[in-house]
A and B are shown apart, each in its own frame.
Chain A
Amino acid sequence: MNGISEKFNHIAITTVKGQEQSMALMEKLLATAQPSAVYSAPVTSGDYTIITASEVSAGIGFGYGLGGGVGPKSSEGETTSEAEAQETQEQPSGFGGGGGGGGAAMARPVAVISVGPEGVQIQPIVDASKIALAFFTTLGGMVIMLSRMRRASRG
């Protein structure tokens, strides 16, 4: 039974290490909630100093699995070799564990803060492609709704 507990301990230790790594990753993720993740370091050029402000989002997910079991003792007739016969004096057992995870991060510039001779100015950054995509999606949604309602009222 010592072999079984050794195997189980090894798997458990590996899983705990994995969990610790995931927790460390979570701490790094939480660091993106700080203002320093959103505002860039100031860049100075001539009389102007520029700071970019971005929207940042990040997410991670992870999971673990651990399992095992002990099988029935095999009878003497089923063994094929001496080595196997010695092994089967103990109950056959199997343990396994695994884990996986994934994540994504996204950043989008929102505005530029400029400090110059005119004072502090905030210039917004407009993402034209996102707006166009939202506009056409809205338009498509309206056309589909209108056509369905017309069909329903006729029927």
Chain B
Amino acid sequence: MAQPEGIIRWQTLSGEPITVGDVTITPQSQALIIRLPFGGLVWNRPVAVLVEHGGQTRRMPIIDITRVVQLGLLGLNLAFAIFLVLSTRRKTKRGVK
């Protein structure tokens, strides 16, 4: 197995191709590796599969809907917070004038 070069490494790897009938699927994953002298962390997620059929290869992305919705809600919360701060500053400035 290849050793990570640095403390933090972000890599995309392709797995062993799986052949089902006349279709060959190559899974791809993306991993974040943090290696420290006193431990480590690995986060690995599927990104896409390469589908080879009839001599043609197409990439089918794997979308993590749960993560997309979670990040969307987080973004909404941040946008709401920024909007509130800006609107309060405007009101304060108007009040001072």
A residues engaging B (CB < 8 A)?
Answer: 26-27, 29-39, 42, 44, 49, 51, 53-63, 101, 103, 108, 110-111, 113, 115, 119-120, 122, 124-127, 130-131, 134-135, 137-138, 141-142, 145-146, 149, 152-153
**B16 contacts chain A at the CB level, 8 A cutoff:** yes
**Which residue of chain B has its CB nearest to the CB of A126?**
B65
**B5 contacts chain A at the CB level, 8 A cutoff:** no
Number of A-B contacts (CB under 8 A): 156
Complex Cα spacing A53 to B84, Å: 40
Binary flags per residue of B37-63, CB closer than 8 Å to A gives 1, else 0 = 011111111100101010000001011
Given the known A-B contacts A35-B29, A59-B40, A120-B51, are A138 and B46 also in contact in the complex, defined by CB atoms under 8 Å?
A: no
Q: Is the CB of A122 within 8 A of B84?
A: no
Complex Cα spacing A153 to B33, Å: 46
Closest chain B CB from A60 CB (angstroms): 5
Q: Is the CB of A30 within 8 A of B70?
A: no
What count of chain B residues pass the 8 Å CB interface test? 50
Complex Cα spacing A84 to B39, Å: 44
Q: Is the CB of B73 within 8 A of A55?
A: no
Given the known A-B contacts A111-B62, A113-B49, A124-B64, are A57 and B1 also in contact in the complex, defined by CB atoms under 8 Å?
A: no
Closest chain A CB from B17 CB (angstroms): 11
**Which residue of chain A has its CB nearest to the CB of B27?**
A39
Contacts of A26 in B (CB 8 A): 35, 39-40
Q: Is the CB of B15 within 8 A of A149?
A: no
Complex Cα spacing A125 to B88, Å: 41
Given the known A-B contacts A32-B42, A134-B69, are A124 and B63 also in contact in the complex, defined by CB atoms under 8 Å?
A: yes
Q: A36-B16, A38-B15, A145-B84 are in contact. List 13 more A-B contacts (CB 8 A).
A: A26-B35, A33-B11, A35-B29, A49-B20, A56-B45, A57-B44, A59-B41, A59-B42, A115-B20, A120-B53, A124-B63, A145-B81, A146-B84
